[in-house]
Structure 1
Amino acid sequence: MSVERRPPPLETRPLLEQSPPSYHSTDDATSPITPNSPGAGPPLLNRFSRIELCWILLGLWSGVLLGAFDGTVVATLLTPIGSEFEASNEASYIGTSYLLSVCCFTPLYGRLADILGRKGAMLLALSLFGTGTILCGMAPSMKALLVARTIAGMGGGGITVTDLIPLKQRGLYQGVANVLYGLGAALGGPIGGWANDNFGWRSAFYLQTPVLIFSFVTVALKVNIRLPDEVQNQKLSDKLRRIDFLGSITLVGAVGCLLLGFDIKSTEDLQWKDPAVVGCLIASFFLASLFVWVEKYWAAAPVMPLRLITQRTPMAVSISNLLLSMSVFSMLYSAPIYFITVRSKPSAVAGLYLLPHSLCIPAGSLFAGWFMRKTGKLYSLTVIAALMTLFASLLASCWTRYQLPFHFWLDLLPQGLGFACFITTTLIALIAGVRKEDMPIATGLSYLFRTTGQALGVSLSGAVLQTVLLQSLRARIRGPGSEDVSYTSQTNYHSAQIIPSLDHHLREAAVDSYADALRVVFICQSVVCFLGFLACLPIRESPLP
């Protein structure tokens, strides 16, 4: 009885050759072996010379560098942007709007790449990201800026295509990409702060334009990837059915309503029983329930397959990635606020404090890859990495106004190093713990929980900061006229950068209030980190080939 052989899943087929081209001695010293040459093996879908492959990767990796650069730039500029628009209480929305948009569109780009082709999907992502970034620099108000960040996030979810490189070589290429990501993240803080101090915060967005143009032109001219015939010849209606539009919308709606409920409660100083707050939380619960129903019964290609996430290792990896991403991005956006408001540092210096954290990302990722390759193990490193992240949050919760500057540099090191190791080992644990045909879905699942955690971390830490800050200011500023300088008024404390110009009494009250509020944020980070540590413990140690 013959057994029918099924073709491999579309997402697992690499679009480039399995190894760099081999060269043989001919009159043309650079001519690669053709598919019909002896020992060439089966015909390959795409063949490129080393130079062509370098150009392709250069176009893709410039997008990786730019995305990392943009993230730390915005984290450094939250305070000056909020101050200019007199809306410091809404500053966390700048990060949340971008990350929510990324969360929504990242799962869709894999399917869009099958419809538009790899070049079309990349150009669409770069166009949206570039348009949103330029509009950020032109924004006349906070609301316009939030819309622009949402547009940028629509592109930020697709500025890399991960299936160009075969799995056997992907570790090396991912290591180089991680180095560039760390470089972009390291440069974003100090360059963004320097641009703000010398030319205004808008210039930090305009500075990204040359890299955007270079990446767009390189992709347009050099990325010519042919898709497999079964994908290329598939009907458009069949391709569209594989895009989980309803699942993505309900997921983002559930997360967005949850964040909005917490945000308006804190920024507008409302009670928990206020109809607006209750309405947002009820809507979040309803949309979350609808999302589960859609993923289980409706979606042909669900963005979050329930059959996969209910398994032990995928569930542990997903929850721990969600929680640790919340903690790390809370730190990424809260630490610059601490340095500007409590330590009275300019934006450029505040950005420099993030430098060790950013440089540890590629170092931690490369170390984790080397460790797993050397030992074939990942569980012990995963647990240690989670503890390092927790340790950094505990150190931050002990910061004082009079602490020596080098402490801040050293205290952020364990988190950057630990988180980089953690996301690397848990991704490999997830891939090693599922069937081969589920590997692409598992990878997307990891990124989905990570981006959701990033959005939650930025928004919820901002909500905690505003709530505690308001209470602390009211406790410290009493007497006649105290309401005039309350954080809820439309005057002084909507602009954090006005603190140095206040009278001594008000300045001390403001600085102490920010210190108290940020300490609570860092303590909450520690609690979330501890929960993330507990969540990673059930991860199984799978054999690593």
Structure 2
Amino acid sequence: MSTSRRASMSETTSLLEEAPPSYYSTDDVDEAVTEPQVDLDPQPLNNFSRRDTYWILAGLWSAVLLGAFDGTVVATLLTPIGSEFNASNQSSYIGTSYLLSVCCFTPLYGRLADILGRKGAMLLALTLFGSGTILCGLAPSMTFLIVSRAVAGMGGGGVMTVSSIAVSDFIPLKQRGLYQGMANILFGLGAGLGGPLGGWVSDTFGWRTAFYMQAPVLIFSFILVITKVNIRLPSEVENQSLAEKLQRIDVLGSITLVAAVGLLLLGFSLKTTEELPWSHPLIYSLLCSSVVCGFGFVYVEKHWAPYPVMPLHLMTQRTPLAVSISNLLTSMTAFSMLYNVPLYFSAVRLEPATKAGESHLKVAISTGSVFAGWIMRRTGKLYTLTLVSSLLTILASTLVCLWGNNTSTFHLWIDLIPQGFGMASFITSTLIAMIAGVYREDMAVATGITYLFRTTGQVLGVSLSGAILQGVLLQRLRLRISGPDADKAELSSRCCRHTTEIIPTLDPLTRQAAVDSYADALRVVFICQVAINVCGFLACLPIQESPLP
């Protein structure tokens, strides 16, 4: 069946109809049922020796490890950077610019991986990420540093997306989840090393060294990608000239997509960081402009682009739509949990979020990914695994809602394990569901869509939970501290809402009011997490059980 025929058929397929598996043509369904075509996965043109496979994975996964390392390193550098440039009030934009850039450019790499090839797309991502990181070390001002982080984000999203696409080209689908789990272990290792190592390097050699020290790993990954990642695409794609490949880039669709996602997330981020009301002209105009760009994107993809960056027929199929929505919702709650649980310890329990708790969560995340991969490899099934993983996130968010003054420290950490285990297992199984539920020619774009919804959910989770927290917290503080102490209440509320470190230094009555107000506000956030997780569970119900040959 031709690609055009498949696309046209998918555009008109009902959401309730079964999406075609990626490794069969619809003309061969009857034959496939009786005689599975397992030789088509992976493609014969990408059979590598075991040694070459190790080198390819080393090149791809070293970049993944570095991306995770970079994220936690920068989190430890915000204070010294703000002090050097005398712009501590702008420090939050260092992380915001990177996340916004990642969300905007991640979906573009799915199509670029088909146009430029896996090697070309990965080299582009590494170049942008590496140049942005080195420019951060050379930054003469805070504004330059923020822009450099945005450049790094243009490549950071591509590193994860393209590495996932490339591994899918030569690893059998049934084993793909296990390899994704191993990649997640490296991601967790990088994230775990970034904080302590970055802090030590910053204190010893200065914060700029923390950016420069990433160069050796970047060079190592760059060399391996050039020499070893020789993943072949179908001949009709490889034989095209550079001019023909460039003509396939959906420029207008990319611009409208980046604008729609970027304006949306920027509006939510400014609402949280600057504490602006929803009716503020800036917030209102950003969100309205995002809606306009979103409609423009849909029009371009449906009526204009010959090779759309996000084919709309994918989003009308049952499994891709269910995977996208469920990933958006569960990522929102996961990052809300990661952001607000440490806040609970520092503001309500008045104690730091200990390293033991962080290690429990990281171990659960790594174990969940590998467990999901092992289950899919052993059983060839993913649907039940996906539902159970989603239920675990509901369980964790429910347990967190029940936290109170009498909850033991042991339970505080044990209750987090289902969240880390369930979320890691969920994102692994749904990624395989997405790959298995589309045609092979749509696999790269579908992977990019998955990462788009996942990263968008991460930013929205932090932004929306922060907005809810600040609103409820301010209301509770004003309610608890009133009368003659109203001026003191306003000052205390401002201090408490910007930093929890001041809470132990307050007088006993004001301190108790701040603690109780934080407990009430965080409970509202945790209840919202339960509701969103339930919606995420309902969203993943339509996911189909695709065969994993």
* Bin of the TM-score, shorter chain as denominator length: 0.7 to 0.9
How far apart are residue 82 of structure 1 and its match?
8.6
CA distance in 1, matches of 2:322, 2:440: 19
How far apart are residue 531 of structure 1 and its match?
0.9
How far apart are residue 63 of structure 1 and its match?
1.1
How far apart are residue 529 of structure 1 and its match?
0.9
Quick one: which amino acid aligns to residue 98 of structure 2? Y
> CA, structure 1 residues 351+4, in 2 after alignment: closer, same or farther (shift >3 Å)?
closer
Instruction: Tell me the residue number matched to 1:26.
Output: none
How far apart are residue 418 of structure 1 and its match?
1.3
Deviations 1:141-171 (A, max 9, x none): 7755543432221111222432356455355
Instruction: Tell me the residue number matched to 2:105.
Output: 105
> CA, structure 1 residues 92+389, in 2 after alignment: closer, same or farther (shift >3 Å)?
farther
How far apart are residue 126 of structure 1 and its match?
2.2
Instruction: Tell me the residue number matched to 1:250.
Output: 256
> CA, structure 1 residues 124+304, in 2 after alignment: closer, same or farther (shift >3 Å)?
closer
Instruction: Tell me the residue number matched to 1:67.
Output: 67
How far apart are residue 322 of structure 1 and its match?
1.3
> CA, structure 1 residues 181+44, in 2 after alignment: closer, same or farther (shift >3 Å)?
closer
> CA, structure 1 residues 134+530, in 2 after alignment: closer, same or farther (shift >3 Å)?
farther
Q: Does the 8 Å contact 2:267/2:286 carry over to 1? A: yes
CA distance in 2, matches of 1:135, 1:317: 36
Instruction: Tell me the residue number matched to 1:37.
Output: none
Of residues 175, 178, 190, the one that matches 2:178 is 175
Of residues 241, 249, 257, the one that matches 2:247 is 241
Q: Does the 8 Å contact 1:61/1:177 carry over to 2? A: no
Instruction: Tell me the residue number matched to 2:55.
Output: 55
Quick one: which amino acid aligns to residue 289 of structure 1? F
Of residues 287, 301, 308, the one that matches 1:302 is 308
Q: Which structure has greater helix proportion?
A: 2
80-89 or 155-164, which moves further after superposition?
Answer: 80-89
Instruction: Tell me the residue number matched to 1:335.
Output: 341
CA distance in 1, matches of 2:506, 2:142: 24
Given the two structures, how large is their TM-score scaled by the length of structure 2? 0.77
Instruction: Tell me the residue number matched to 2:533.
Output: 529
CA distance in 1, matches of 2:287, 2:507: 41
411-420 or 199-208, which moves further after superposition?
Answer: 199-208
Q: Does the 8 Å contact 1:186/1:354 carry over to 2? A: no
Q: How does 1:70-219 map to 2 (within 5 A)?
A: 70-72=70-72, 95-113=95-113, 118-134=118-134, 146-159=146-159, 160-161=162-163, 162-163=165-166, 166=169, 169=172, 171-172=174-175, 175-186=178-189, 188-189=191-192, 192-193=195-196, 195-196=198-199, 199=202, 202=207, 208-219=214-225
> CA, structure 1 residues 472+217, in 2 after alignment: closer, same or farther (shift >3 Å)?
farther
Instruction: Tell me the residue number matched to 2:296.
Output: 290
> CA, structure 1 residues 241+449, in 2 after alignment: closer, same or farther (shift >3 Å)?
farther
Q: How does 1:414-433 map to 2 (within 5 A)?
A: 414-433=418-437
Question: Secondary structure in 2 aligned to 1:302?
Answer: coil
Q: Does the 8 Å contact 2:180/2:373 carry over to 1? A: no
> CA, structure 1 residues 451+302, in 2 after alignment: closer, same or farther (shift >3 Å)?
farther
Is 1:385 matched with 2:389? yes
> CA, structure 1 residues 89+458, in 2 after alignment: closer, same or farther (shift >3 Å)?
farther
Q: Does the 8 Å contact 2:398/2:530 carry over to 1? A: yes
Q: Does the 8 Å contact 2:173/2:432 carry over to 1? A: no
Quick one: which amino acid aligns to residue 414 of structure 2? L
Deviations 1:114-151 (A, max 9, x none): 66554443333223223434555676877555434322
CA distance in 2, matches of 1:65, 1:311: 33
Deviations 1:38-59 (A, max 9, x none): xxxxx98677654444223212
Instruction: Tell me the residue number matched to 2:36.
Output: none
CA distance in 1, matches of 2:516, 2:146: 29
CA distance in 2, matches of 1:487, 1:175: 48
CA distance in 2, matches of 1:445, 1:139: 33
Deviations 1:174-207 (A, max 9, x none): 5245324224325524651575489559476566
CA distance in 1, matches of 2:213, 2:265: 31
Quick one: which amino acid aligns to residue 526 of structure 1? V
Q: Does the 8 Å contact 2:175/2:373 carry over to 1? A: no
Quick one: which amino acid aligns to residue 211 of structure 1? V
> CA, structure 1 residues 140+332, in 2 after alignment: closer, same or farther (shift >3 Å)?
farther
Q: Does the 8 Å contact 2:176/2:432 carry over to 1? A: no
> CA, structure 1 residues 83+464, in 2 after alignment: closer, same or farther (shift >3 Å)?
farther
Instruction: Tell me the residue number matched to 2:12.
Output: none
- Structure 2: give runs of 5+ residues left out of the alignment: 8-21, 24-42
Is 1:450 matched with 2:454? yes
Q: Does the 8 Å contact 1:383/1:536 carry over to 2? A: yes
Quick one: which amino acid aligns to residue 151 of structure 2? I
How far apart are residue 496 of structure 1 and its match?
4.2
Deviations 1:216-252 (A, max 9, x none): 3443555455666543442334322322333333233
Q: Does the 8 Å contact 1:175/1:362 carry over to 2? A: no
CA distance in 2, matches of 1:505, 1:459: 30
451-460 or 182-191, which moves further after superposition?
Answer: 182-191
Q: How many residues align?
A: 507
Is 1:356 matched with 2:356? no
CA distance in 2, matches of 1:287, 1:68: 31
CA distance in 2, matches of 1:527, 1:197: 40
Quick one: which amino acid aligns to residue 249 of structure 2? I
Of residues 298, 320, 326, the one that matches 1:320 is 326
272-281 or 478-487, which moves further after superposition?
Answer: 478-487
- Alpha-carbon RMSD across the aligned residues, in angstroms, is 4.1
Percentage of pairs with the same residue: 60
How far apart are residue 100 of structure 1 and its match?
2.9
How far apart are residue 336 of structure 1 and its match?
3.2
How far apart are residue 414 of structure 1 and its match?
0.9
Q: How does 1:399-478 map to 2 (within 5 A)?
A: 399-400=403-404, 403-478=407-482
How far apart are residue 430 of structure 1 and its match?
3.2
Quick one: which amino acid aligns to residue 275 of structure 1? P
Given the two structures, how large is their TM-score scaled by the length of structure 1? 0.78
How far apart are residue 467 of structure 1 and its match?
2.9
CA distance in 2, matches of 1:334, 1:292: 35
> CA, structure 1 residues 534+63, in 2 after alignment: closer, same or farther (shift >3 Å)?
same
Question: Secondary structure in 2 aligned to 1:538?
Answer: coil
Q: Does the 8 Å contact 1:95/1:458 carry over to 2? A: no
Question: Secondary structure in 2 aligned to 1:158?
Answer: helix
CA distance in 1, matches of 2:466, 2:83: 15
